[in-house]
Chains A and B, each alone.
Chain A
Amino acid sequence: DVKVTQSSRYLVKRTGEKVFLECVQDMDHENMFWYRQDPGLGLRLIYFSYDVKMKEKGDIPEGYSVSREKKERFSLILESASTNQTSMYLCASTRDTDQPQHFGDGTRLSIL
Chain B
Amino acid sequence: QKEVEQDPGPLSVPEGAIVSLNCTYSNSAFQYFMWYRQYSRKGPELLMYTYSSGNKEDGRFTAQVDKSSKYISLFIRDSQPSDSATYLCAMSAAGTASKLTFGTGTRLQVTL
**Chain A interface residues toward B at CB < 8 A:** 4, 9, 30-31, 40-43, 45, 48, 50, 58-59, 90, 94, 96-106, 108
Task: Tell me the B18-52 residues at the A interface (CB within 8 Å).
Answer: 32, 34, 36, 41-46, 49, 51
Interface secondary structure of A, over-half rule: loop
Q: Chain B contact residues (Cβ within 8 angstroms of A): what range?
A: 20 to 34
Q: Is B87 an interface residue (CB 8 A)?
A: no
Complex Cα gap A37–B35 (Å): 16
Complex Cα gap A24–B90 (Å): 23
The residue on B at minimum CB distance from A95 is B97
Q: Is B13 an interface residue (CB 8 A)?
A: no
Q: Find the residue from A31, A45, A101 having the highest chain B CB count within 10 A.
A: A101
Complex Cα gap A48–B98 (Å): 8
Asked, given contacts A41-B104, A42-B105, whether A106 binds B96 with beta carbons under 8 Å apart, the answer is: no
**Chain B interface residues toward A at CB < 8 A:** 4, 8, 32, 34, 36, 41-46, 49, 51, 88, 90, 94-100, 102-105
Q: Which residues of B contact A103 (CB under 8 A)?
A: 36, 43-45
> B94–A97 contact, CB under 8 A?
yes
The residue on B at minimum CB distance from A59 is B99
Q: Which residues of B contact A104 (CB under 8 A)?
A: 43
Known: A30-B97, A40-B8, A94-B97. 9 other contacts (CB 8 A): A4-B43, A9-B41, A96-B97, A97-B96, A98-B51, A100-B49, A100-B96, A101-B34, A103-B36
> A101–B88 contact, CB under 8 A?
no
> B96–A99 contact, CB under 8 A?
yes
- From the candidates B34, B42, B97, B105, name the one contacting A105 in the complex (CB within 8 A): B42
Q: Which residues of B contact A97 (CB under 8 A)?
A: 94-98
Complex Cα gap A99–B50 (Å): 10
- From the candidates A9, A59, A94, name the one contacting B96 in the complex (CB within 8 A): A94
Q: Find the residue from B32, B98, B105 having the highest chain A CB count within 10 A.
A: B98
